[in-house]
Structure 1
Amino acid sequence: MTRIEIEEMFAALARAEAAFELARDLGDAIALVLADAGQPELKARLMELREKNDADRSRRHEKLTAAAARLGDS
């Protein structure tokens, strides 16, 4: 991969992360509405899913960063 391809990959990753943040914020808003509507168990489940997704996203980000560093060194 060339440096330009790596930079394009990171730009695409940044756009994907921005979209994820919007979706997560929407999920938070839905969870609050559910809790206010008397369904706190659904809010709790959404928060559990969010924590798992955040951990998964963090691991993927670390792997992509490490892969990009290896590609940049070659």
Structure 2
Amino acid sequence: MAVTKNITRYVCDRCGASAYLPDRDPRSSEWHPVQRVTSDGALMDLLLCSACHKNYRSLAVQQDGEYNRWMIPTAGDKEEQV
């Protein structure tokens, strides 16, 4: 019976995909740690597979654009403050 030491199990926090990979395996680059701050300020640490990370990046780009547009003051903002 073969024994392999120093193996890490990767599990995607979104879809549940998993892989057991030996240390320094090049496939470990297919797993992406992500930190996200929720709307109430809580920090979440996630691990995503490549497919879910691709979807997450699309979502993050969209949300970044919405946030950047929101940061530009408009005339209506000043009326709301009065």
TM tier relative to shorter chain:
0.3 to 0.5
Q: Greater RCO between the two (CA within 8 Å, min separation 6)?
A: 1
Higher strand content, 1 or 2: 2
- Pick the structure with more helix per residue: 1
TM-score by length of 2: 0.34
Higher Cα Rg: structure 1 or 2? 2
The normalised TM-score by structure 1 is: 0.37
